[in-house]
Structure 1
Amino acid sequence: MSTNTVSTTVPEWSQRERALAAAKLMLGWVALLWAIEAVDYATGHALDQYGLRPRDTDHLIGIAACPFLHFGFGHVASNSIPLLVFGFIAALSGIRRFLAVSVLIMLADGVGSWLVAPPNTLGAGASGLVYGLFGYVVVRGFVERKPLNAVVGVVIAAWWGGSMFFGILPTDSGIAWYAHLIGLAAGVAAALWYRRPAPRPS
Structure 2
Amino acid sequence: MSETRPARTSMSAALLVVGGLLAVMWALELLDSVTLNALDSYGIEPRQASDLPNVLWAPLLHFGWAHLISNSVPFLVLGVLTYLSGAVRWVVTTVVSTVVSGLTAWLLSGVGTITAGASGVIFGYLTYLLVRGIFTRRISQILIAVVVFALYGTVLLGVLPGVPGVSWQAHLGGAVGGVIAAYLLHSKESRVR
- Give the TM-score taking structure 1 as reference length: 0.86
Partner residue of 1:94 out of 86, 95, 98: 86
Q: Which amino acid aligns with 1:154?
A: V
**C-alpha separation in 2, matches of 1:97 and 1:142:** 16
**Structure 1 match to 2:3:** none
Query: Which blocks of at least 5 consecutive residues in structure 2 are unaligned?
Result: 1-5
2:66 alignment partner in structure 1 = 74
Percentage identity across paired residues of the two chains? 37
Residue correspondence of structure 1 range 44-55 to structure 2 within 5 A: 44-55=36-47
Amino acid at match of 2:79: G
RMSD between aligned residues: 1.7
Q: CA deviation at 1:22?
A: 0.9
On the 8 A contact 1:18/1:94 being kept in 2, the answer is no
Question: Structure with the greater relative contact order (CA < 8 A, sep ≥ 6): 1 or 2?
Answer: 2
- 1:185 matches 2:176: yes
Tell me the alpha carbon deviations over residues 63-91 of structure 1, each in whole angstroms, 9 at most, x when there is no partner. 11211110001111111101111111111
Which residue of the partner structure matches residue 173 of structure 1?
164
The answer to whether the 8 A contact 2:159-2:168 is kept is yes
**What is the rounded CA distance, in whole Å, between the counterparts of 2:85 and 2:156 in structure 1?**
26
Within 5 A, what are the aligned runs for 1:23-42? 23-42=15-34
Distance apart, 1:96 and its partner CA: 1.7
Could you give the per-residue CA deviations for residues 4-60 of structure 1, whole angstroms, max 9, x where no partner exists? xxxxxxxx85x5x52221111111111111011001101111111111000111222
Aligned residue identity for 2:20 = G
Partner residue, 1:5: none
TM superposition score normalised by structure 2: 0.90
SS in 2 for 1:194: helix
Task: From the two aligned structures, give the one with the greater helix fraction.
Answer: 2
Give the equivalent residue in structure 1 for 2:102: 110
Q: What's the offset of the Cα at 1:165?
A: 2.7
**Could you say which residue in structure 1 is the equivalent of 2:139?**
147
Give runs of ≥4 in structure 1 deviating > 4 Å. none
